[in-house]
Amino acid sequence: MRDDHTAVGPTAPREPRGPRFDRRHLLTGTLLGAASVPFAAAAAQAAPRRAAAPASAGRPARPVVPGADRAHADGWSALRGDRVGVITNPTGVLRSLRNVVDEMHESGAVDLVGVFGPEHGFRGTAQAGGSEGTFVDERTGLTVYDAYGAGVTTMTEMFRAAEVETVVFDIQDVGARFYTYIWTMWTAMQAAVATGSRFVVLDRPNPVGGTARGPMMTAGFTSGVGAKEIVQAHGMTVGELARFFDGEFLPDVAGARLDRLDVVEVAGWRRDVTFAGTGLDFVMPSPNMPTPDTALAYPGTCMFEGTNLSEGRGTTRPFELIGAPYVDHRWAAALTDAGLPGVLFREAYFNPTFSKHAGTVCGGVQVTVDDPARFDPVRTGVAMLVAAASLYPEFAWREDAWDPERPFWIDKLTGSPRLRQQIDAGATTDDVVGAWHDELADFDRRRQQYLIYRGPRA
């Protein structure tokens, strides 16, 4: 995932807010006055029937119902009366797999005035680092604005051109700081402050669970793959992130918080539940995120975008197959001997059809998560980097020719030069992971007041 939003500076930690924070509109057991029991029944009727697995199997005791389905079951009452613009992509679907924009448009219940497409586009036709541009959607007749790479000024102009009064965000995130959809949301939130628009998040589960992991972004290394100071695997849903952005960053960056932020919550999700436990169908959030297994590995293995190893783009298992022409069987053996919890490493050989090493056979590993409850993707990614750098003199960090002042892509992915410098100096996995202990603990403390969903890992 790539983007180029305007970088912004650091923000000091904040204490919990007073009455203004208490007025944040959280659509939980009720949806703008709808009674909770009838609403839950309506949502259950709207969703396809699925067998409920016991909580002991790593699944919630009741069905997981995304915010979009809850809003749809209530006849989109949460959006009536305003001119609505929707930021979404192919993951913005109901449990029936109907696209939310198509459903809103055909229902006639929502006054849709525009759609805003992120990286890969509204209909999902573009590859990494691309978008669909601005066009008129043939199915709905709506203008789809190109929001990928748009700065705050451009996004504000688009909202004003469409005369948007309510901005709706409905995209399935995958829980990693460098996945660009959350930064499209951040830009849109700033534009919503500028236009006085209400902001509504139709929330979805975090597919890798609710635990925060990894290093903090630092101000000097912000970019479109990390525009603000959050950790590498933030452990929040997009609804929780919106609350965090609103409380922690918007006052300093935009001069005010959102006039109104509503989160239509996911019903039935716990923080210890990964996507496989939700009972939901997985829609690819981007072309190189084909399965929930990919999402589990991604917060760690995406760091290989910052090296001269292939991260598996151009294969059927991106971010699970990692390797290079110079890698041999020793890497898989070393990683297996490391005994990392919750993960297995298979010696693998692959020939990417595009991206790094296209058309060349690469040796490497396939990463298989066999116990998500014990698996730490960021620590695993670090262990893989440490072993590769130790074993192979050919190992190198990928340079960013477009940014000579910050030439190493890994620094943008991890938030600072620290990880690169430690590995170059021969640091162990424990050394690298231990370096971010305090900043991770501070971030975890700060985010607690914004969390919506609870469970064993709140």
Q: Which two tokens mark 444?
A: 């975890």
Residue 7's beta-bridge partner residues? none
Residue 230 has pLDDT above 70, yes or no: yes
Looking at residue 132, its pLDDT comes to 79
Residue 9 has pLDDT above 70, yes or no: no
Residue 36 has pLDDT above 60, yes or no: no
Average pLDDT over residues 13-27: 37
Residue 10 has pLDDT above 50, yes or no: no
Looking at residue 108, its pLDDT comes to 95
Average pLDDT over residues 392-400: 96
Query: Phi, psi at residue 360, to the nearest 5°?
Result: -125, 135
How many Å apart are CA 184 and CA 242, to the nearest integer?
Answer: 11
Quickly list DSSP for 24-61.
-EEESSSBTTB-HHHHHHHHHHHSPP-PPPPGGGTS-S
How many Å apart are CA 360 and CA 443, to the nearest integer?
Answer: 42
Looking at residue 121, its pLDDT comes to 81
Q: 61 to each of 27, 372, 451, how far by Cα in Å? A: 21, 18, 20
Average pLDDT over residues 137-163: 94
Check residue 252 and report its DSSP letter. Answer: H
pLDDT band at 2 (very low <50, low <70, confident <90, very high): very low
pLDDT band at 407 (very low <50, low <70, confident <90, very high): very high
For the segment 259-303, what is each residue's pLDDT rounded down to a tens digit?
A: 999 999 999 999 999 999 999 999 999 999 999 999 999 999 999
- What share of the chain in percent tops pLDDT 70? 86
Helices 437-447, 238-248: inter-axial angle, 10-degree rounding: 90
Looking at residue 212, its pLDDT comes to 98
pLDDT band at 60 (very low <50, low <70, confident <90, very high): low
Residue 415 has pLDDT above 70, yes or no: yes
Looking at residue 112, its pLDDT comes to 97
Lowest mean pLDDT among 124-133, 313-322, 358-367, 413-422: 124-133
Q: If we measure between CA atoms, which residue out of 288, 301, 298 comes closest to residue 353?
A: 288
Average pLDDT over residues 14-40: 37
Residue 18 has pLDDT above 60, yes or no: no
229 compared with 32, residue with greater pLDDT: 229
Lowest mean pLDDT among 116-130, 149-163, 352-366, 396-410: 116-130
pLDDT band at 400 (very low <50, low <70, confident <90, very high): confident
Residue 4 has pLDDT above 70, yes or no: no
Average pLDDT over residues 241-258: 98
Residues 6+ apart with CB under 8 A from 23: none
- What share of the chain in percent tops pLDDT 90? 78
Looking at residue 200, its pLDDT comes to 98
Check residue 298 and report its DSSP letter. Answer: H
Residue 74 has pLDDT above 70, yes or no: yes
> Which residue reads 């190992």 in tokens?
395
Looking at residue 131, its pLDDT comes to 82
Residue 55 has pLDDT above 90, yes or no: no
Mean pLDDT of the chain: 88
pLDDT band at 229 (very low <50, low <70, confident <90, very high): very high
> Which residue reads 């389905």 in tokens?
69
Lowest mean pLDDT among 2-6, 89-93, 136-140, 403-407: 2-6
Residue 73 has pLDDT above 80, yes or no: yes
Average pLDDT over residues 408-420: 98
Looking at residue 58, its pLDDT comes to 56
How many Å apart are CA 398 and CA 308, to the nearest integer?
Answer: 6
Average pLDDT over residues 134-158: 92
